[in-house]
Structure 1
Amino acid sequence: MAVNQSPMYQKAEERYRSAASPAEKVAALEEMLRLVPKHKASEKLQAALKQKLKTAREEMQKGHAKHAGGGHHDPLQVPRQGAGQVVLLGEPNTGKSSILAALTSAKVEVADFPYSTHAAIPGMAHHEDVPIQLVDMPPLMVGHAQPGMIAPIRAADVILHVIDLSAIELIDQYERPLAWLREHNVKPVSRATLEFDEDESAALPKRLLVAANKLDTPSAADNLAGLQELCGTELRIVPISAKTGQGLPEMMAALFELLNVIRVYAKKPGKPVDRDAPFILPAEATVHDMAHLVHRELAEKLKSARIWGGTVHDGQQVHATHVLTDKNVVELHFP
């Protein structure tokens, strides 16, 4: 009998498949073990997860011993924050840093010469009230990529592939990074939902959006039309200008869609809704999943909930298994 996994489990599995370090694997596997249904049909899966967790913990201990007292720091690794992590990938002078500067308060060196970025630079952007972390990676020059660059790219939730619409070699600039990703066992996809192969050595599917930058330049419109005609619908292309801001809201909306998450607002009984810090959950998450984020122990005692927004009547009472939608307001009731 197949084991049906929840959206929360699927999100944890995605983090495990994309993990850039043993510590990230351990955290993801522990979450998968907690979330996997506990019945006879899942016993084989539980045993496999426990074995993988044991191996990951051993790898983590070896890593700690290797770097003990060494003060090791990887300038390309950035802790994930917000609703998801988006890495900016592109060749020199495509305008990655300009995008980061336009959307975040990060201290960015925007220069007209190549290789002005040497370490990963994070900044927090927003789609409406949803925080999305953007990470500007060093420029990619195929054949001369910075060592270790593929690991944080594999670990990110989405890749933002930045190209320059004024570039003479626009098509090559579009195709070279995609080929580099495939050479490193990453399969770019344009859909929000991911399907993983049982063989963990298979190519890792990774959500990717193409940001066609410098839409404000004279040749941009013609070059964009030619690019879209050549590339078809393989990947989604969003035309933008970091300089003028044109297309940036549409780009952030597309990134939010690719992250495959929803925002949910909490409301205490008899109190107004708290819209300052929405809870971020995987798409198709349930009321129980939200309750677990609010308080892990109380979640198991959840009695019922009232929902506003979406397809239900405002204030309708629902069970813990009710599937939430984006912008729902949820009032949890405990005994």
Structure 2
Amino acid sequence: MTTPQTKTKQRAGLTGIALAAVIGIGSFAGSDSAADDLTPKAYAALVQAGLSNVKVDFDGREAKLSNGTPDELAKAEKIVEGVNGVRWAKIDSNRSTNLPDPPTFSLTRVADGVNLNGVVPNAAVAQKLKDAALSLGKVTGDLKIDPNVGTADWLGTLSDVIPSLSEVDDLALSVDGDSLAIGGSLESQAGVDTLADLIEPSLGDLSLDNTLKVDAARLSPSQAEDIKAANVYFARGSSTLDARGKAGLLTLVDVLKRNTGVELEIGGHAGPTDPVRGKALSDERVAAVKEFLVASGIDAARLSTKSYGSDPEADGDAYAEQYRRVDFIVKGN
């Protein structure tokens, strides 16, 4: 039998259940409202701190952070917790490794210049790297631009180093992941060490994989030009070295001493004259040059000679003096 007291108790119980339900619904609504309110505030604080890539997910007033480096996430944690209304912020260990792909870059020596490849985050960075590569000659290949690629310290400093790579033979430089690899050869260990010291400050967080080698038998581009410019010219009918000729040969001596594996052919030419006299004059000129080089400390075994004789058809040529010369051909390098 139901008494008035029993009915009163039942009504009270139903009322309590209803109130609990209302409170529960209100708490969920409040949680969503808090998240909607705090999310833009947290992102604004992160953008101001230069951490716009960090992602924030709110559950009520609690935030979880992802998509950044460990250092970025640690900074973001403090910044978001400092936003008014946030209870706490924690790094989401399940998603914090969702990082953007790193930029890449490669630079390799080709016949008439260098070839570029890689992916960088914006056009300004790409142009700066390409302008630097032009210092090494003609540039082929290109850099792709992908705004979703991450940034890196080396993107702002590597362009300052690239012009210093002009003396590296068989150059191969690449940045991929967390290391910078450089290979090729230089003429001395001092050159290898100097270049490594120059690259080090531009690495940022990268490690250096240095496989540069010493090749004493190679010529740098500037040294090849020195040999090309060392041609010795003679007065008509003469095989005597004058002061200008000796000065050019002293430059050649310096190149040969610094590159002990280089061998040269000394080629003699005579101006318009009869073939017999022309052959004799060519022989005398190469002998005079070889004698000077040997007296200056160059091993005679590294020097071969060849007489090209005269060119009778050059008689009256305004440029006939070009036939009265000794020039050099690199035979072993």
Q: Tell me if TM exceeds 0.5.
A: no
Structure number having the greater helix percentage? 2
TM-score scaled to structure 2, two decimals?
0.25
TM-score scaled to structure 1, two decimals?
0.24
